[in-house]
Amino acid sequence: MSNPHTPFSCTAFLGVEAVAGGSLQDVVNSVKEALSESKLTQVLIFNDLTGKPIDVDFRGKITDVLTRLGETFDDSSGTEESSRTARRVGRPKLGVVSGEVTLLPRHWDWLKSQPGGASVTLRKLIDEARRTGEQQSTLRASQEAAYNFMTAMAGDFNHYEEALRAMYAGDLDGFYRFIDDWAPDIRNHVKRLAAGAFPAAVKAEGEQDHEDYKG
């Protein structure tokens, strides 16, 4: 029997109630065992990483369901693995690698005046740029996951559009206020998915915790 490749967690909903969470295989097992055939047709399973629904055919025995899932993920992961392998070809080993950098004289003058010299300063600048880029990627991924789930499960809820605007504006207080009267399981799942969409609020909270600790 093929096992589905699931390097992510997922959550199953029956209406507005979360009924299972964990790996895709665990969720499928749980709902298949716990729910009747009529209710299984109403179950929606969402990828917690992307907020997108996962199509699961619950017909037959659990072994049949998992086999179909395994075949689906085997097909999709084969292309991805080939792509990753191709990208690894020619990648330099870890360590210091020399290379040519072309800069204007004023750039060299500034780099040489920095503590540690040009090489140390360039490495620091690159590391900082990478951190900034990763933070932006996390923010966008969190926004997209929350948007996907909200569109599928809360599109007709009160203040849906206002909540989306608050999320994209980075307004955590407004976002929480607009989703406060939503069904509890939906609201809590949206909060989890959108957690990375408010880095400023998370940073401020961490700084406040640090100040409280020092006090």
Q: pLDDT tens track of the chain, all 215 residues? A: 334 454 689 999 999 999 999 999 999 999 999 999 889 999 999 999 999 999 999 998 999 998 888 876 665 544 444 444 444 444 445 555 666 777 778 877 787 788 877 777 777 777 776 666 667 778 899 999 999 999 999 999 999 999 999 999 999 999 999 999 999 999 999 999 999 999 765 544 444 444 443 44
At 1 the pLDDT is: 39
**Residue 181 included in any domain:** yes
At 97 the pLDDT is: 61
Distances (CA, A) of 119 to 99, 116, 127, 131: 11, 8, 12, 18
Residues 180 and 109 in one domain: yes
**Residue 190 included in any domain:** yes
Residues 171 and 138 in one domain: yes
Which structural domain range is residue 145 located in?
Answer: 105-214
Dihedrals phi, psi of 154, to nearest 5 degrees? -130, 15
Number of compact structural domains in the chain: 2
Residues 182 and 134 in one domain: yes
**Residue 65 included in any domain:** yes
Spatial separation of the C-alpha atoms in residues 6 and 22, rounded to whole Å: 10
DSSP string, the chain: -PPP---SEEEEEETTEEEEEEEHHHHHHHHHHHS-HHHHTTEEEEETTT--EE-----S-HHHHHHHHHHHHHHHHHHHHHHHHHHHTTPPPSS---------HHHHHHHHHSTTHHHHHHHHHHHHHHHHHHHHHHHHHHHHHHHHHHHHHSTTSTTHHHHHHHHHTT-HHHHHHHTTTS-HHHHHHHHHHTGGG-HHHHHHHHHHHHHHHH-
At 201 the pLDDT is: 58
**Residue 186 included in any domain:** yes
At 147 the pLDDT is: 96
What number of residues does the chain have?
215
Residues 30 and 74 in one domain: yes
**Residue 57 included in any domain:** yes
Are 111 and 122 in contact by the 8 Å Cβ rule? The answer is: yes
At 138 the pLDDT is: 82
* Domain C-terminal end among 42, 62, 88: 88
Residues 208 and 172 in one domain: yes
**Residue 94 included in any domain:** no
* Domain C-terminal end among 35, 55, 88: 88
pLDDT tens digits, residue range 111-143? 778 887 777 777 777 777 666 666 777 889 999
pLDDT tens digits, residue range 72-89? 666 554 444 444 444 444
**Residue 77 included in any domain:** yes
Dihedrals phi, psi of 103, to nearest 5 degrees? -135, 160
At 39 the pLDDT is: 93
Residues 78 and 119 in one domain: no
